[in-house]
């Protein structure tokens, strides 16, 4: 495992406009735009504010407190090297070091798995309530921040799942975790049982197909009890997937197909779970123009089997 630990301040890179400073000479009115980049000052005099009465060698001190830092450590000292009519500043040199950040020290730990497996799991070793997770799905990075010490964060590169001491969370939303989630939502409705989710994930990770997971669901005692006949099965799954119960006319073709053996409960469940509109409703995929579903942010909780 490759681990990169970075301890440092978050840079404040910005431009301070129309700043002024004190001078030991008679010159007045000069204003400067100072850009600070990682503590390095770039100073430009404003063309409309060249000042008057300056002399060669004059120094103008912009206090560091005007530049997001401290004085005198972060002062920007401007030395006049050329003057024009009326003592306007034409050229100058500068000296000074800016404050890099806001004084807060951050610790960032970047972790990359040993292998480039499609799904990688990182074990935090603490309870989930002590962390917040942001899924940067564009770059395939999970950003984990400690709630107990918010300046400490983990950048998990190419990790799709996190295991805590009380649960696990999967972010392979369009992968195995999402597939199992859709099958369970279509089969049982309501809140997905995290134990069932964990078992399904384990099976799919080991090579079990969606069709086989669907078959396992429809033959599970708890499912058989809730769906004792074809009519009840069709009514329940249709309601979970479509959001409303079917009319007798809508239900009849499915009940007839099951009764004649032209399809099976597992096949219907598998097909229903993979309807795009259903997967949009439960948050696996986005509704245009969104490209990702809401579960890409929260992840899918499960208890590892």
Q: For all residues of the chain together, what is the average pLDDT?
A: 92
pTM score, two decimals?
0.69
* Mean pLDDT, rounded, for 138-152: 87
What does the pLDDT read at residue 213?
A: 98
CA dist 214 → 7, 27, 246, 264, 276 (Å): 48, 83, 21, 10, 17
- The pLDDT tens digits for 75-118 are 999 999 999 999 999 999 999 999 887 767 677 788 888 777 88
Residue 245 tokens, joined: 């119960």
Task: Measure the CA–CA gap between 285 and 282, rounded to whole angstroms.
Answer: 8
Instruction: Report residue 273's pLDDT band, with 50, 70 and 90 as the boundaries.
Output: very high
What does the pLDDT read at residue 82?
A: 97
- The pLDDT tens digits for 168-179 are 999 999 999 999
Task: Measure the CA–CA gap between 75 and 15, rounded to whole angstroms.
Answer: 15
What does the pLDDT read at residue 111?
A: 87
Residue 233 tokens, joined: 């099965």
Instruction: Report residue 4's pLDDT band, with 50, 70 and 90 as the boundaries.
Output: low
A 10 A CB-CB count for 49 gives: 15
The percent of residues in the chain predicted with pLDDT above 90, rounded, is 77
Instruction: Report residue 44's pLDDT band, with 50, 70 and 90 as the boundaries.
Output: very high
Given a cut of 70, whether residue 7 has pLDDT beyond it is: no
What does the pLDDT read at residue 63?
A: 96
- The pLDDT tens digits for 185-243 are 999 999 999 999 999 999 999 999 999 999 999 999 999 999 999 999 999 999 999 99
């Amino acid at each position: 495992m490759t681990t990169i630990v970075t301890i440092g301040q978050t840079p404040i890179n910005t431009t301070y406009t129309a700043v002024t400073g004190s001078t030991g000479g008679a010159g007045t009115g000069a204003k400067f735009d100072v850009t600070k980049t990682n503590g390095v000052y770039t100073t430009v005099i404003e063309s409309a504010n060249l000042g008057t009465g300056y002399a060669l060698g004059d120094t103008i001190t912009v206090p560091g407190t005007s530049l997001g830092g401290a004085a005198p450590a972060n002062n920007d000292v401007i030395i006049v090297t050329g003057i024009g009519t009326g003592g306007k500043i034409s050229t100058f040199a500068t000296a000074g070091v800016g404050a890099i950040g806001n004084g807060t020290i951050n610790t960032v730990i970047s972790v990359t798995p040993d292998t480039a497996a499609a799904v990688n799991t990182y074990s935090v070793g603490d309870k989930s309530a002590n962390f917040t997770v942001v899924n940067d799905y564009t770059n395939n990075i999970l950003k984990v921040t400690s709630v107990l010490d918010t300046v400490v964060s983990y950048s998990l590169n190419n990790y799709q799942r996190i295991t805590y001491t009380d649960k696990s969370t999967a972010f392979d939303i369009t992968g195995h975790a999402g597939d199992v989630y859709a099958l369970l939502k279509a089969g049982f409705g309501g809140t997905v049982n995290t134990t069932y989710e964990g078992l399904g994930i384990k099976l799919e990770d080991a090579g079990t197909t969606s069709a086989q997971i669907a078959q396992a669901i429809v033959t599970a005692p708890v499912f058989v009890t809730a769906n004792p006949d074809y009519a009840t099965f069709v009514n329940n799954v249709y309601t979970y997937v479509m959001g409303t119960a079917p009319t007798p006319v809508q239900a009849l073709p499915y009940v007839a197909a099951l009764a004649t053996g032209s399809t099976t409960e597992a096949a219907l469940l598998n097909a229903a779970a993979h309807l795009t509109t259903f997967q949009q409703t439960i948050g696996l995929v986005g509704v245009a123009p969104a490209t990702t579903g809401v579960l890409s942010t929260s992840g899918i909780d499960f208890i590892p089997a």
